[in-house]
């Protein structure tokens, strides 16, 4: 069992100010190597290729979200919600660990390092930690997996108005300098209440919610799905694909031991759950716990001189920020255009068609700020009744924000027409 250290910790957060944690269990979890790993994973993947200030980490976001959870729970308590000390601590733990399963570069490499989601990996980590701390995380896991009877606690962890979103919108706006993402987190949290086990927003806070939903849509188009950010992430994905292909062909590809494990094996969720030791003496989860952005970037720098021309060129392009040209349009990329661009790459770089495919990418990106069908946001009227937010007459068209907007991209090297 891990020892629990009784003390208080104050964190100076550049976005939220001074944060105070006093739970010995939470402090011990923050100090755990699996949580500390998040210091070495950037929150916004490759977004710093467009917004140089976007260097903040998953760890910083995790601390911020846990602080907002603490504020939300204390606010609900003051309004009469029956939240025990154990439930308060458990909900904070659930949000503290919600991102622990992220791959290097966050969402950019999800499903490419391993064939599963970061949420599923997070749950495996939480189960392992629960064993280490003699079952102290059981309630947190129930909240995280939507199994706990008080559903409003789960909604604060994972919902349309959860503290995860409240933190990342404000934080990502701060570090990118994109002011459209600024939301009034304190006001929104102060407007929260619970009615019949349902998380609701007081009617006087409705305009803050409107701003929150609009900010989320704008941040997706301007930051998370920015076409240049997307092209940089596709470049990184193609580098990983090529490295895996070379390893499968028996080619030598230098990498750290944890990275080499994921380059060599097709890893699925059951592998993470297994306690079997792999060839390098570590379990799959232990290998993953040793993997972060540093492993990838050290490898990419080393691969710039790899004898494989495809891998070396891809890596040089990323290291030197020679990103693909990307266009975004309302219709899928024409097959003829994709073929023409692929032929251009073949001629320019003297590559085969399969090799040229690593340099031309096309697909779809989608943005949906609000879901009417699942987990709606409810408003508490002055008479105590609740109504779904789309029914409020003085709101902007929330139904429009609940519509999925899809756009199609195509990327190719800028120099093929030189």
Tens of pLDDT along the chain (418 residues)?
Answer: 565 555 788 999 999 999 999 999 999 999 999 999 999 999 999 999 999 999 999 999 999 999 999 999 999 999 999 999 999 999 999 999 999 999 999 999 999 999 999 999 999 999 999 999 999 999 999 999 999 999 999 999 999 999 999 999 999 999 999 998 899 999 999 999 999 999 999 999 988 998 999 899 999 999 999 999 999 999 999 999 999 999 999 999 999 999 999 999 999 999 999 999 998 899 999 999 999 999 999 999 999 999 999 999 999 999 999 999 999 999 998 889 999 999 999 999 999 999 999 999 999 998 888 876 667 899 999 888 998 888 775 555 677 777 888 999 999 999 887 6
What local confidence, expressed as pLDDT, does residue 41 receive?
97
What local confidence, expressed as pLDDT, does residue 401 receive?
76
What local confidence, expressed as pLDDT, does residue 394 receive?
57
| Residue-range domain boundaries for the chain | 9-225, 226-324
What span, in angstroms and rounded, lies between the C-alpha atoms of 144 and 140?
6
Return the CATH superfamily for domain 9-225. Answer: Hypothetical protein af1432 (1.10.3210.10)
Element (H, E) at 69: helix 58-78
What local confidence, expressed as pLDDT, does residue 105 receive?
95
> For residues 156, 157, 158 and 164, what is the CA-based torsion angle, rounded to 10 degrees?
90
Answer yes or no: are the C-beta atoms of 259 and 240 closer than 8 Å.
no
What local confidence, expressed as pLDDT, does residue 5 receive?
56
Buried b (16+ CB within 10 A) or exposed e, 106-119: bebbbebbbebebe
Element (H, E) at 17: strand 17-21
What local confidence, expressed as pLDDT, does residue 3 receive?
59
Reported pTM? 0.94
What local confidence, expressed as pLDDT, does residue 395 receive?
56
341, with CB counted inside 10 A (0-12, 13-18, 19+), is buried
Strands 198-202 and 378-380 turn out to be: parallel
CATH numeric code, 226-324: 1.20.1250.30
């Amino acid at each position: 069992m891990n020892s629990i250290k009784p003390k208080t910790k104050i964190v100076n957060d550049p976005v939220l100010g001074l944060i105070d944690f006093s739970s010995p269990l939470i402090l011990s979890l923050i100090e755990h190597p699996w949580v500390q790993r998040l210091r070495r994973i950037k929150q916004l993947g490759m977004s710093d290729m467009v917004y140089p200030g976007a260097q903040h980490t998953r760890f910083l976001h995790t601390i911020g979200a846990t602080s907002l959870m603490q504020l939300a729970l204390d606010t609900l308590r003051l309004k009469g919600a029956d939240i025990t000390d154990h439930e308060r601590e458990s909900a904070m733990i659930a949000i503290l660990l919600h991102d622990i399963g992220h791959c290097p570069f966050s969402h950019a490499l999800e499903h490419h390092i391993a064939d599963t989601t970061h949420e599923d990996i997070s749950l495996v980590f939480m189960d392992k930690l629960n064993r280490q701390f003699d079952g102290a995380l059981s309630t947190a896991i129930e909240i995280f997996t939507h199994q706990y009877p008080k559903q409003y606690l789960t909604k604060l962890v994972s919902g349309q108005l959860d503290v995860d979103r409240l933190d990342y919108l404000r934080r990502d706006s701060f570090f990118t300098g994109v002011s459209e993402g600024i939301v009034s987190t304190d006001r929104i949290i102060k407007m929260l209440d619970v009615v019949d086990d349902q998380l609701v927003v007081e009617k006087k806070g409705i305009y803050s919610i409107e701003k929150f939903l609009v900010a989320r849509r704008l941040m997706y188009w301007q930051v998370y799905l920015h076409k240049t950010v997307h092209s940089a992430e596709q470049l990184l994905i193609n580098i990983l694909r090529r490295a895996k292909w070379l390893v499968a062909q028996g080619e030598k590809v230098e990498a750290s031991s944890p990275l080499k494990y994921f380059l060599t094996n097709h890893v699925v969720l059951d592998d993470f759950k297994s306690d079997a030791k792999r060839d390098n003496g570590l379990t799959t989860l232990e290998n993953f716990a040793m993997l972060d952005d540093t492993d990838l970037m050290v490898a990419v720098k080393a691969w710039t001189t790899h004898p494989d021309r495809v891998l070396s060129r891809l890596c040089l392009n990323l290291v030197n920020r020679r990103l693909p040209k990307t266009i975004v349009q309302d219709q899928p990329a024409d097959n003829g255009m994709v073929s023409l661009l692929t032929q251009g790459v073949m001629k320019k770089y003297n590559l085969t068609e399969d090799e040229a495919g690593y340099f031309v990418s096309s697909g779809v990106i989608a943005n949906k700020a609000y879901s009417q069908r699942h987990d709606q946001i409810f408003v508490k009227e002055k008479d105590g009744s609740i109504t779904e937010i789309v029914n409020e007459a003085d709101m902007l068209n929330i139904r429009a924000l609940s519509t999925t907007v899809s756009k199609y991209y195509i990327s190719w090297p800028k120099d093929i027409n030189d």
